[in-house]
Homo-oligomer: A and B are copies of this chain.
Amino acid sequence: MTRFFVEKSELLNDRILLCGENAAHARVLRLKAGEEVVVCDGAGQECLCRVESADKDLFALSVLQRRAAVSEARVKVRVYMAHSKSDKFEHVIQKATELGASEVVAFSSSRCVSRPDEKSLKNKLSRWQKIAASAAEQSGRGVIPAVRTLPSFAAVLAEAKETELPMLFYENEDGFSLSDAVKGKADFASAALITGPEGGLTEAEVASAREAGVLVCTLGRRILRCETAPLCALSARMFAAGEF
């Protein structure tokens, strides 16, 4: 079902108006009176609505049902990916949103080749958040994952530790796997997945993660690209949580 994101306060009304970009989108879809759509606040609440009138610039909807978003994962998984070259992070934002991530966070690590400065990060963040919003709409999510950046690997560890199951994926780890990490913890409510840049994380970074209590895991005997690893780990984490 078609889905629109609006401001939180809009959802309190019994009649919702789609305007601006939402109206433009509704026009493209040729939305007609009588059709049903979902309107969400992007933070977990949504309304099932019926189109009452469809004008060129304004679409009026009546609220049929108010509910918690039905498509959100029970487990909140944050994806932490080191800054990488070209548009790999954009790719990961889009796919991680579809796969149900709660947040997608880029960070700087020792071997990052890409080191965006503050001004370029500001522009990028606005673009990145739009990618998440669009992917959330297309995949039928009720929450738009927050896209953020962190200035250091230490900051990532500090945040990840706050989740119930912080994990880091390292190509030189071969004993301890993601399966080992989630054993008996598959229904834990939160998790963090940390992956490195093209050149990998350094031994010192991995050691500091272990010290912080982060589980260092392998994703198998094949070396995954830096944009493949987080999505593989996220798919497996959601699968282990019984999402599909």
Contact = CB atoms under 8 A, between A and B. Distances in A.
Contacts of A73: 220
A99 to B, nearest CB: 6
The interface centre, meaning the residue of A99, A140, A232 with most chain B CB atoms within 10 A of its CB, is A232
Interface in A81-120: 95, 98-100
Contact of A231 (B177, B221, B231): B231
A67 B157 CA distance: 40
Contact of A220 (B100, B218, B225): B100
Nearest to A171: B140
A243 B222 CA distance: 10
Interface stretch (A38-46, A49-57, A205-213, A233-241): A233-241
Contacts of A243: 220-221
B223 A244 contact: no
Contact of A222 (B71, B218, B219, B223): B71
Contact of A235 (B100, B138, B225, B235): B235
Given A236-B235, A236-B244, A239-B179, A223 B138 contact: yes
A138 B236 contact: no
Main secondary structure of the interface of A (DSSP, over half): loop
Contact of A95 (B220, B228, B236): B228
A12 interface: no
B244 A219 contact: yes
Nearest to A236: B239
A139 interface: yes
Interface in A123-166: 138-141
A70 B174 CA distance: 13
Nearest to A141: B222
Given A232-B235, A235-B235, 9 more contacts: A98-B222, A98-B225, A99-B222, A99-B232, A100-B220, A138-B223, A139-B222, A139-B224, A236-B238
